[in-house]
Chain A
Amino acid sequence: MEPLLQVEHLTVTYETRQGPVRAVDDVSFTVYRGEVLGLVGESGCGKSTLGMALLRMVRPPGRITSGRLIFQGRDLLQLPENEMRKLRGRHISMVFQDPMTSLNPLQRIGDHIVETIRTHEPHVSKKEAWERAARLIQRLGISPDRLRDYPHQLSGGMRQRIMIGIGLALNADLIIADEPTTSLDVIVEAQFLDLLRELRDEFNLTLILITHNIGVVAELADRVAVMYAGRMAEIGPVHDVFHRTLHPYTKGLLASVPSIRLEDGLELETLSGAPPSLLEPPPGCRFHPRCPQAKPICSQRVPPWKEIHPGHGTACWLYAEEGA
């Protein structure tokens, strides 16, 4: 498999009045062309910040303080801003959580797509771009007449399809979807996920799917990355992570998913405690205060990354030698 994006030791720091907060702390992973990578974790674990960091769009007072983002052979963090801007939307596209607010209320749907196409391909005429947009949204199951509509005239599901469509319009190499289905109801969510699956096969999409919903990951992702308190806890193929779970946090996360098959009398497991404050994170492994399997070393040293099965690794002292 060909790596499309290699994230190496990425750290994002927010300068706050109480001191620096590392929302993303020394995170490394690779995205391969044509795969769907699920990025899961609780609210506030840094997954959305990570998503924005990949576009180099972390909002001040946050900024990327170290690491490398190797995309198609170039380190994105070394690019001048104007080069980076040309990459946004053209090569890396983003779908946001709330489709109700991520479209300009005063701009026609079609103009969103046309503007994006013509920003990156200035030689394309307005008419041509409009026709491309029409063909595209037809493929997404929306009548081309809707291009003349304004965002408020479309349903949430339609708007989210438009957001994906803007990414497809330029054949973006990588689409980052940040909680794309969170604000949709269950039926529309299912339809949207079906569409994503179809598009993935048809356009050979590479997708980073940021979500707190394990179910969405199970349905769509090839591999899954689990984040906890700004750090990467476990990465591996979906099947491995779900069935040969390594990190105690992932185990807790999986156990806390309600299932229709849950028998009466069986309690849904919950993780005790709350995610730590990133202002003063616990020393060592950040999960140790909540970890049922914590050992003395867990509170002293940061666990090293270790690949246990091919392509399936974790940062946990249960699998690493303490002497190392």
Chain B
Amino acid sequence: MRSLGRYLLIRTLLTIPMIFVLVTLVFIILRVMPGDPVKSSIRPGAPQEYINEIRHTLGLDKPLYVQYGDYLWDLLHLDLGTTLSPVRGQSVAKQIWEHFPATLELALAGMLVTAIVGVGLGAYAAHHRRSLADYSLRLYAIVIYAIPVFWLGLMFQLVFGVWLKIFPVAGRISSLAVAPKHITGLYTVDSLLTGNWAAFKDSMMHLALPALTLGLYLSGVFVRLTRSNMLQVLKMDFVTAARARGIPERTVVYRHALKNALIPIITMMGLQFALLLAGAVLTESTFSWPGLGRFLVERITYRDFPSIQGAVVVFALLVASVSLLVDILYALIDPRIRY
């Protein structure tokens, strides 16, 4: 376990240069991009002196390398700065913190859908190889992967929201309902913890379509991956040996084989997490989900540099911690892996 601690420490330290590179890139891209945070936040036609004055107070008239140095210095002190636009002077960290739980809730729910649908159907396809179900599932995997995630979201809204009127199409909770007491920030979890059943049902209904959209979109990759891994594992000697011991086929396939096929799948889950966040940005916009993704898109239109940079840092940290988590999961699943 001591070596695991060492490994975790090294991995954590490695995220620092990663974030440095990322932040630098984002910093440069934002400055190269046309548009200006001051102009986008004030009335068009304002006098140039007024604009210059604001630029001066915000430090935007300093040379770029000074701005960059200041930014890094603040970041080093875990200070994400204050917003420039549309409203000036708000704490970026606080805003990100307010939007983060919504994204986390959506990402977790989406991941859950992906894991259950992708891995479950993939294993089923492998078990019933060359059956009609297998061929249909393979087709499903390709089609769902090729569909743009926002289009999938729109279709869900149209079918389940507009036509069938089963699920709401926007927001996290009904405007008339009271949001549950803030514990984790995840409405579904908080309402469950406080025993607020009405809020739980309401937030679950709101979560359903975005989570399905995001989860199904990513499930295609996992159907294919699980299927091909399972087919390989099912050919292995220990599977034959388990059958020869009289272990029921269901147990052999879904316990012995699936667990062995899971290791590369978990790697993929870690890698796909970045894609999941990208999908979350689009899904949040489609479903007006008040999360970090929608926050990011909104701030990009306002050229609010500190908010964009802050959100990117948080996304990067998230991806890094997930890949760290995946490495720990390996060791828990596979006794042969020790750090």
Residues of chain A whose beta carbon lies under 8 Å from any beta carbon of chain B:
55, 57, 85-90, 93-94, 96, 98, 101-107, 112, 115-116, 119-120, 150, 152, 163, 166
Contact = CB atoms under 8 A, between A and B. Distances in A.
B196 interface: no
A101 B236 contact: yes
A105 B247 contact: no
Contacts of A90: 246
A61 to B, nearest CB: 12
Contact of B247 (A55, A119, A163): A119
B251 to A, nearest CB: 8
B31 interface: no
Given A57-B244, A88-B244, A94-B244, A104 B336 contact: no
A104 B242 contact: yes
B259 to A, nearest CB: 5
Interface in B234-273: 236-238, 240-249, 256, 259-260
Contact of B246 (A85, A96, A112): A85
B248 A88 contact: no
A152 B336 contact: yes
Nearest to B242: A104
A150 B336 CA distance: 8
A96 B245 contact: no
B64 interface: no
B53 interface: no
Contact of A119 (B236, B237, B238, B248): B248
A101 B244 contact: no
B334 interface: yes
Given A102-B237, A103-B238, A166 B259 contact: no
B244 A93 contact: yes
Given A88-B244, A96-B237, A105-B238, 16 more contacts: A55-B244, A57-B240, A85-B248, A88-B246, A89-B247, A96-B241, A102-B241, A104-B242, A104-B260, A105-B260, A106-B334, A107-B256, A116-B246, A116-B247, A119-B247, A152-B336
A119 B240 contact: no
A116 B256 CA distance: 13
A43 B335 CA distance: 35
12 contacts: A57-B243, A94-B244, A98-B237, A103-B238, A103-B241, A105-B260, A106-B333, A115-B247, A116-B245, A119-B245, A119-B248, A150-B335
Given A89-B246, A119-B245, A105 B336 contact: yes
Contacts of B248: 85, 119
A9 to B, nearest CB: 24
> Chain B interface secondary structure, helix, strand, loop or mixed?
helix
Contacts of A105: 238, 260, 334-336
A107 B245 CA distance: 15
A104 B246 contact: no
A93 B335 CA distance: 27
A96 B237 CA distance: 8
B232 to A, nearest CB: 13
A89 B259 contact: no
Contacts of A57: 240, 243-244
B273 to A, nearest CB: 24
A96 B238 CA distance: 9
B245 A89 contact: yes
Contact of B245 (A93, A150, A152): A93
B256 A104 contact: yes
A105 to B, nearest CB: 6
Task: Find the residue from A87, A102, A152 having the highest chain B CB count within 10 A.
Answer: A102
Contacts of B244: 55, 57, 88-89, 93-94, 96
Nearest to B336: A152
Contacts of B242: 104
Given A106-B259, A106-B260, A152-B336, A101 B237 contact: yes
Contacts of B256: 104, 107
A152 B246 contact: no
Contacts of A107: 256
A159 to B, nearest CB: 11
Interface string B207-227: 000000000000000000000
Nearest to B335: A150
Given A101-B238, A102-B238, A106-B260, A88 B243 contact: yes
Contacts of A85: 246, 248-249
Nearest to B245: A89
B267 to A, nearest CB: 16
Task: Find the residue from B236, B237, B241, B247 having the highest chain A CB count within 10 A.
Answer: B241
A58 to B, nearest CB: 11
B182 to A, nearest CB: 40
Nearest to A167: B245
Contacts of B247: 89, 115-116, 119
A87 B237 contact: no
A87 to B, nearest CB: 7
